[in-house]
Amino acid sequence: MDKINLKKSPEKILVIKPSSLGDVVHSLPFLQAIKDGFPDAEIHWVIAKGLEGLLEDHPMVKKLKIINKDRWKDLKKIKDTASELAGISKELRHEAYDIAIDLQGLLRSGLLTYATGAPVRIGFKEAREGGSLFYTHKIRGGRDIHAVDRYLKIAAALGCKTEDIRFPMPLIKESDKVRRLKESAGDYAVIVPGARWETKKWSPEKFGRLAAMLDIKSIIIGSASDIEISEHIEAASKGKALSTAGDTDIKELISIIRGARYVVTNDSGPMHIAAALRIPVIAIFGPTNPERTGPYGNNHIIIRPDIPCAPCYKKKCKTMRCMEDISVERVYKEICGYRSS
């Protein structure tokens, strides 16, 4: 096992894990392990704009550094990006971190790690885009391993205990809007029809038919980009589902998931929030591998196709056979089996 020998106990640690939603959730057991291992250390976190609600006011994170990473991809705004990068680099160096840890493993996160000037800069040997060039210590994470366990390898290398895996989700005060929604719904399931890749999405028609068959109501959650498919599901549910897509922030989304009996979902960020909250998950997988990015824990059901091309990790596909082969009846049967157990 990789081992990092520190000359002194760190007083200030920076974690660089800007995105995505599910990946940040996966890194929470790492946060717990680091805080347990270095209880007196001040932990700062680099997070992407739009995801800060997940770590805002978190008792283990002293300060958030918010970056507009989506703008960094726009070549038309390269001057603004360069200015922002220079500004945050100066800010990070001024913090005088003892350790900087890059869990993202890309070029830009590697550059931010280097910009801290921290004497100990840690990342994965498998970092892409040359990110590992900027580390003083490189940890072998591995590829065919769940992201949670991969991140914990760095905590273990720092001498932290990683046997007791916990997701320190932030405590969130429930908004009046969410409270009223829950009261009106009674017992409910949550449906998550969105995903970052089109190939990871089960059809809204099937989600709608499933919602109509369930013995409890469903609340559909998602971002503004999921409004159209969520409205399709709502219309097909025969009055059994209500869409909140585009109408909740991350904190409200967490509150809704927290009150669910179970969550039916594609491979998505909210799926990982549900797993972290120990809400039973019925996850529909096609092109991706649940061994790497599935819901963490044992009380979940994974539904995947029995075809030779899956998982293929393709973001585009003409047939999407892997998702098309999963029937409404199969998902419904799995839910009924869970409910009767």
Share of the chain above pLDDT 90, in %: 90
The 10s digit of each residue's pLDDT in 128-147 is 999 999 999 999 999 889 99
Peptide bond preceding 9: is omega within 30 degrees of 0, i.e. cis?
A: no
* Cα 258 from Cα 275, distance rounded (Å): 10
Query: What are the tokens at 338?
Result: 């869970």
Whether the per-residue pLDDT at 220 is higher than 80: the answer is yes
> What are the backbone dihedrals phi and psi of residue 50, each rounded to the nearest 5 degrees, phi first?
105, -20
The whole-number pLDDT of residue 283 equals: 98
Whether the per-residue pLDDT at 188 is higher than 80: the answer is yes
Closest CA to 266 of 244, 248, 281: 281
* Cα 69 from Cα 65, distance rounded (Å): 12
Whether the per-residue pLDDT at 334 is higher than 70: the answer is yes
Domain limits, the chain: 12-157, 176-340
Domain 176-340 has CATH 3.40.50.2000: yes
Question: What does the H/E/C string look like for the chain?
Answer: CCCCCCCCCCCEEEEECCCCHHHHHHCHHHHHHHHHHCCCCEEEEEEECCCHHHCCCCCCCCEEEEECHHHHCCHHHHHHHHHHHHHHHHHHHHHCCCEEEECCCCHHHHHHHHHCCCCEEEEECCCCCCHHHHCCEEECCCCCCCHHHHHHHHHHHCCCCCCCCCCCCCCCCCCHHHHHHHHHHCCEEEEECCCCCHHHCCCHHHHHHHHHHCCCEEEECCCHHHHHHHHHHHHHCCCCEEECCCCCCHHHHHHHHHCCCCEEEECCHHHHHHHHCCCCEEEECCCCCHHHHCCCCCCCEEECCCCCCCCCCCCCCCCCHHHHCCCHHHHHHHHHHHHHC
Domain 12-157 has CATH 3.90.480.10: no
Q: Mean per-residue pLDDT for 238-244? A: 98
Do domains 12-157 and 176-340 share one topology? The answer is yes
Whether the per-residue pLDDT at 237 is higher than 70: the answer is yes
The 10s digit of each residue's pLDDT in 33-84 is 999 999 999 999 999 999 999 999 999 999 999 998 766 666 566 677 677 7
* Cα 98 from Cα 42, distance rounded (Å): 10
* Cα 228 from Cα 279, distance rounded (Å): 26
Q: How many residues does the chain have?
A: 341
The whole-number pLDDT of residue 86 equals: 85
Beta bridge pairs of residue 47: 66
